[in-house]
Amino acid sequence: MSARFALEWREAGGLMWLQWDGAGVCAAFPTREGGVSPAPCDSLNLGLSVDDAPGNVLENRRRLCAAVGVPQERLVVPGQVHGTTLAWVGEGEAGRGAFARETVIHDCDGLLSGAPGLGLVVSYADCVPVVIVARGADGPELAAVHAGWRGMLAGIVGQAAAALSRRGRLLGAVVGPSIGPCCFTVDEGLRARFDERFPGCADEAGVNLWACAGRDLAAAGVPPAAVTVAALCTASDARFFSHRRDHGSTGRHLAIAWRQEA
Ligand SMILES: [Zn+2]
């Protein structure tokens, strides 16, 4: 890992998260520790779409926001559908989806913004969260992308990077904890699709979604040396929720990415 930007563990208020610091943009990827939700969402379930009391989720979100220093009312939550729709968001979207599912940015799998202090959210439990930073005209701009295998094949990671690069120079990216090549076994048909789209990123053992993301980031112009891969597999590491390992009955992580105040 010769990445230019640091990715390191932080701890506060009983929570642990990986924090990436990249050119005026930060991203936090929490573990499942430190929350109030009971099994199977124990304990820091941050998703309102799973079988958990909303009050638990909001308390968990409150704890995460307090720990990482992003006000909960500044979160922007997309209503993810494994698609490729991206949305630019600003002050007017602050708080969308932060406290209720009804107010999410609908049918959206990637958020882009240059607004300081807005917390762009990605929800996941195996899918790949990717945060990209570019230098825009008025400072850093960022993208926070949800890429499951469908979105990865469809190219949402490269599309988000391209959208940023039309406005400024791409500086770096981080690929957060998600299902690794050790555990992402697929059937022959899906492997063939990955083989065609991302030659060399799939073999008998599994598909390497982290490598797929790296390919598309590089193709869009993100310097490969500035791409940090957490390389932590949610399915084999008990610190994380895993949709596959837990047969669909589990919690959700939220990655939060934000531009630091000037
Ligand atoms: Zn694994």
Query: In sequence order, what DSSP letters do the residues of 167-231 get, joined into one string?
Result: TSEEEEEEE-SB--TTT----HHHHHHHHHHSTTSB-SS-B-HHHHHHHHHHHHT--GGGEEE--
Q: Degrees (nearest 5) of the Cα angle 191, 195, 197?
A: 115
For the chain, first and last CA: distance in Å? Answer: 29
**Average per-residue pLDDT for the chain:** 96
What are the residues whose beta carbons fall under 8 Å from the beta carbon of 230, sequence distance 6 or more? Answer: 7, 18, 29, 174, 175, 176, 177, 178
240 C-alpha vs ligand 1 centroid, how far in Å? 11
pLDDT digits (tens, 9 = 90+) for 189-238: 999 999 999 999 998 889 999 999 999 999 999 999 999 999 999 999 99
Q: Minimal CA–CA distance to 131: which of 150, 146, 117?
A: 146
237 C-alpha vs ligand 1 centroid, how far in Å? 7
Helices and strands (DSSP H and E) totals, the chain:
5, 12
147 C-alpha vs ligand 1 centroid, how far in Å? 17
254 C-alpha vs ligand 1 centroid, how far in Å? 20
Q: What is the pTM of this model?
A: 0.96
pLDDT digits (tens, 9 = 90+) for 56-76: 999 999 999 999 999 999 999
Q: Minimal CA–CA distance to 249: which of 37, 28, 33, 18?
A: 37
Q: Which two tokens stand for residue 124?
A: 């996941």
3-class secondary structure, 139: strand
Sign of CA dihedral 169, 172, 176, 179: positive
User: How far is C-alpha 162 from the geometric centre of its chain's CA atoms?
Assistant: 17
206 C-alpha vs ligand 1 centroid, how far in Å? 10
Q: Domains of the chain (ranges plus CATH)? A: 6-257 (3.60.140.10)
pLDDT of 1 higher than 50:
no
233 C-alpha vs ligand 1 centroid, how far in Å? 5
